[in-house]
Structure 1
Amino acid sequence: MPGIAPQPTRRRLLLAGLACGGLLLGGRSSAKGRVLVTGPAYMGGRLLQRVNEGGFPDLQRDNFGPMTLFIAPVAVAVSPMRDIYVADAGLSALFRYDPMQDAMSVIRGARVTQQTRLAALSDGSVMVANGSSALATRFARNGRQMQTLDPQLGLAHFDEIAVDSTSGRYYGLDRVQGRLEEIMPHGHGATVLADGILPEQPMTMAMDGQTLYVAGRTCQCVVAIEMSGARPQVPVLEESGQIAALAAGDGWLVAADMRDRVVRVWRQNEQVASYEFASLGLTEPRGMAIAGQTLYVVDTAARRVQTFRMRA
C-alpha cells in the first residue's frame, strides 16, 4: 500500500498540531511479508536557531524557529547517530534533522545544487559533493567545516562520493572522465584507479563496507567491486534500465530504475523484491540511503523523504 502525502487540509492540521516543534509526517502503511514496509515521510521541520559544539540544541523556547517545508530535496544521507541530512536544491540548503529533538538545523556554508550528493561518516559528519562547482567538503554535526578533499589529481571535483566505513578512505567518481579516485582519510593523497575497474559511463554508486556498487549507462548494469582485494567487477544486475539512485548498507542494495519505474532490492547480493514506484507512493526518487535497516528515499517531485523499514 503506498504512502499517502497529506492533503492541504491535513497539512494545515499537522502544522497546527506540531507547532511546538517537530517533523511533518506523511502516511504509513504496512503489508505482512513485504520486504519494504512504508514508514514516515519527512517533509520539513522546525528550524533550530542554535546548536552547541556537539551539534546539540539549546532547548530554550526561542531556539525553535519557523516551520520550513522542503521544496526540491535531491540527496539524503543518514549517519550511525541517526542524523538525517537532506540537501534541498530549491532552498539551496543542507539540513540536519535531529530525531532526538524532532527538529532540524541548517549546515551553513554547504553549497547545494541539483548535482549535490551526500555521504555520512561514522562520527556523524557528512561529506558534500557538487560535481564541477565545488570541492567535496566535510561538515561536522554542528555545521563546522572539517575537511576539503583536495587530492591534487585533475580538477579534484567529484560527481559522486562514497566512504569506506572500515578504512575511512573516500571514493570520488568523475562521470565525465569515467574515473574513480581513492582518497586517503586526510583528504590530500589519492590514487586514480585503473581503467576498466568501472562500467562504461558510470552514473551513480553506493558503498556497503568495502564493497562499492556502481551503475553504468552503456551496459545498463550494476556491478559490485570489492575494494579490499583484486577489485574485479562482479555483475549484480544486467539490463537494469536507467538507474537514477543506488543505496547500500546493512547487507542490502537498492536501485531505483527511472526507465521501468521500479525499485529493486537485493539482500546479500540476491534480488529479493521489486516494486513499481506507484506501489511505494514514489514519483521521482533522486537519492537514497540505508541505515539501521531503514531505506530513506528522496522523492523530489513529492518534496519529501520517504522511509521504508527493510525486512529480510
Structure 2
Amino acid sequence: MSRRRLLAAAGLAATGCASEPAGIPAAEPAEFATPWRSVIGGFLAPPTPAFGLPARPGSGAFVKWIAPAAIALRGNDLLVADLASGRLWRADLGLQSVSAIAGAPVGPGTALAIGPDLSAWVLDVAARQVLRFARDGRLLQTFRAGTPTPGTMALADSGATLIVADAGLAQWAELRSAGAIVPTVLPSRAGQRVTGTDAIAVGREAVYLLDRAAARVHRVARDGRVLASLGEGTLKQPLALAVDRFERVFVADAAGPALHVLHDGEAPLTLDAAALRVQQIDGIAVDERVLAVADRGLGQVQLLTLRGGGLR
C-alpha cells in the first residue's frame, strides 16, 4: 500500500470514521442534516501549493485541534481557528492533512473566509484589518477594515468584494479588489432599527446580518434596505451565522445549544446539538451540500450532509 493511502487510512481511523468516504457523500440523506464525519485534526504537511497544483499529503505527526471556533469551508479546504493554540490551520479533507498559516492572527472575534482561488481571508480585529493568505501560506494582501470597530466580514460578488461589518455602529463597508472603498451602508427600515451586526453572511439575493441584541437575523439589500427579519421568538442567544445557495439561514444558538434553520415563508427548523453529535456550537460554515459545525467542547469539526432546498 502506498504511503499516501496509509496516511489517509490512519487519518480516518483517528477520527473514528474509517467507513466514511473522503469526498462528499452522493446519496440524498433521509433527514435534513445527517452527520457523516468528525474531523479532529490531521497529519502535519507543508503549506498547500499554489492554486491549480496538486496538494501534498501529510508526512508529519498528527495534529489534534483543542478548541476550534471560527471556521470556513470551500470544497475540501477547511480553515480552523484553534483558540487554545492561537493558530490558524488549513485542512485538506481529502488528504487528511493540516498546515499552519504563519502570521494569521487568531483570537476571540476571529472571522474567516475562503476565496474562489482558495486563499484564506482573516479578520484581525485588534489591528482593524483583513489579511489574505495564499494557499502556500504567503501573505498576499492587507486591507484596512474601513470601519471604526470591525466585528465580522464576508466575501461577495464571487470574491471580488470584501464586506466588513462594524461591531458597534450597525453598518458595513465594502472594499473592492481594485482598492476602492464603497461608502458605508447603514441598514434601515421604517419602524425597525438594526441594533447590531454581530455576524454577516452573503447569499445570492441579499446580505444577512445577525443582530444578537434583538435575537434576529435581518435580510438586507446591498443598498441598506432591510427586506425582512427572521427568527423572532425562535432565537435566544444566537452567536454564529451561515447561509447556503438556497438562501437557507443557519444560526448557532448557545441556548440549548441548538442550530436553527430559517427560510422565508417556512416555519423555523431547530436541530438539537446532540442530534448533530456535538457538545456545543462555536462556529458554522456551509458549502454546497455540506454543513460544518465547530465544537470547542469536544475539539472537533462535525461535517453534515444537507438535503434539497426546503426545510422539510
1:253 is matched with which residue?
249
Deviations 1:33-68 (A, max 9, x none): 310101101101101035434474456xxx611110
Residues 48 and 57, structure 1, Cα contact 8 Å, conserved in 2: no
Q: Does 1:277 pair with 2:286?
A: no
SS across alignment from 2:275: helix
Deviations 1:195-227 (A, max 9, x none): 537721332222223521112123211111122
Given candidates 200, 203, 211, the residue that maps to 1:208 is 203
Q: Does 1:124 pair with 2:124?
A: no
Given candidates 176, 182, 185, the residue that maps to 1:190 is 182
d(CA) in 1 for partners of 2:196, 2:157: 26
1:66 is matched with which residue?
61
Q: Does 1:302 pair with 2:292?
A: no
Please list every run of 5 or more consecutive structure 1 residues that lacks an aligned counterpart in the other structure. Answer: 1-16
Given candidates 168, 172, 185, the residue that maps to 1:180 is 172
Deviations 1:145-173 (A, max 9, x none): 1111126x454x52211111447211111
1:102-181 to 2 correspondence within 5 Å? 102-150=96-144, 153-155=146-148, 158-166=150-158, 168-181=160-173
d(CA) in 2 for partners of 1:31, 1:195: 38
d(CA) in 2 for partners of 1:310, 1:58: 29
Deviations 1:168-193 (A, max 9, x none): 21111121233311222234523211
Displacement after TM superposition at 1:300 (Å) = 1.0
1:11 is matched with which residue?
none
Displacement after TM superposition at 1:287 (Å) = 1.1
Displacement after TM superposition at 1:84 (Å) = 0.9
Deviations 1:268-295 (A, max 9, x none): 6634631111222222211111112110
Specify whether residues 101 and 301 from structure 1 end up closer, same or farther in structure 2 by C-alpha distance, changes over 3 A only: same
Matched letter for residue 182 of structure 2: A
Please list every run of 5 or more consecutive structure 2 residues that lacks an aligned counterpart in the other structure. Answer: 1-5, 21-26
Residues 225 and 234, structure 1, Cα contact 8 Å, conserved in 2: yes
Displacement after TM superposition at 1:304 (Å) = 0.7
2:15 is matched with which residue?
25
1:9 is matched with which residue?
none
Name the TM-score, length of structure 1 as normaliser.
0.82
Given candidates 242, 260, 263, the residue that maps to 1:264 is 260
Q: Does 1:84 pair with 2:73?
A: no
Residues 188 and 225, structure 2, Cα contact 8 Å, conserved in 1: no
1:221 is matched with which residue?
216
d(CA) in 1 for partners of 2:179, 2:297: 35
Identical aligned residues as a percent: 24
Deviations 1:119-143 (A, max 9, x none): 1111111210132345111111111
Specify whether residues 303 and 104 from structure 1 end up closer, same or farther in structure 2 by C-alpha distance, changes over 3 A only: same
Specify whether residues 127 and 175 from structure 1 end up closer, same or farther in structure 2 by C-alpha distance, changes over 3 A only: same
1:233 is matched with which residue?
227
The number of residue pairs the alignment matches comes to: 289
2:287 is matched with which residue?
291
d(CA) in 2 for partners of 1:269, 1:308: 24
Displacement after TM superposition at 1:246 (Å) = 0.9
